[in-house]
Amino acid sequence: MSTTPRPWSVVRTEQVADYRIFRIERISATRNPGDAPASFVRVHSPDWVNIIAVSPQRHIALVQQYRHGTQSLTWEIPGGMIDAGEQPLSAGVRELAEETGIAAPLWVRLGSVDVNPAFMSNRCHTFLAWDATVTSDTRFDEHEELLLRWIPWDQTVQMLRDGSLNHGVVVAAFAFWAAHFNGFRMPDPSEVRALLVDGPTATGR
């Protein structure tokens, strides 16, 4: 008997719908040879990026916006979709500037997660933007409207605890923070510098 679950064999894939920000596929697959195919749905979406931006005063940049899925206002960290051919770090720099006008000289790659492997194909990449400050005007998308607030670290942690900061991939981002910095604490600058990524940043370094 196998010690791990066996992968399914895809018999047929059919695109059902294309909604610009994601595509829906119907998959026919079998678990054992000779079985009748079972039907599943897969959602294809571009990868996403999240940014935990920390000011020189060690406050966290949170944004509030209306979300149609829950039909409510939510608090989140800045983020968005990665464009075709774009690297996650470059997307993080761009999205942070577009949504908040914030730039940062130091960037750390905290990690990435499968958004929901049960039926979604994409990943969400999380970065830390250190010593972040507002340097430009926002450049919202057509239907986008966000409110930026700099929240003290202790209050941010309390928002995670009481559920007022409850977006799934945002919570995952702070889980990466805790894994890198041994808990929900503000790291020393030397700890951040030890983890810096190479590549383009908001200052062109």
Compute how many other C-beta atoms are within 10 angstroms of the C-beta atom of residue 73.
Answer: 10
Kindly report, residue by residue over 119-141, the tens digit of the pLDDT: 999 999 999 999 999 999 998 88
Give the pLDDT confidence score for residue 1 in this predicted structure: 54
- Domain assignments of the chain as residue spans, ordered by start: 9-44, 48-193
Residues of the chain scoring pLDDT < 50: 199-205
Q: DSSP E strands: which ranges in 20-172?
A: 23-30, 38-44, 48-54, 59-67, 72-76, 79-81, 102-103, 106-114, 123-130, 133-134, 147-152
Residues 6 or more apart whose Cβ sits within 8 Å of residue 194? none
Q: What's the pTM?
A: 0.91
pLDDT of residue 142: 81
Instruction: Look at residue 2 in the predicted model and tell me its pLDDT.
Output: 62
**Secondary structure class of 183 (helix, strand, coil):** coil
Any idea which fold 48-193 has? Nucleoside Triphosphate Pyrophosphohydrolase (3.90.79)
Cα of 15 vs its chain's centroid, Å: 26
Sheet strand arrangement including 38-44: 9-18, 23-30, 38-44
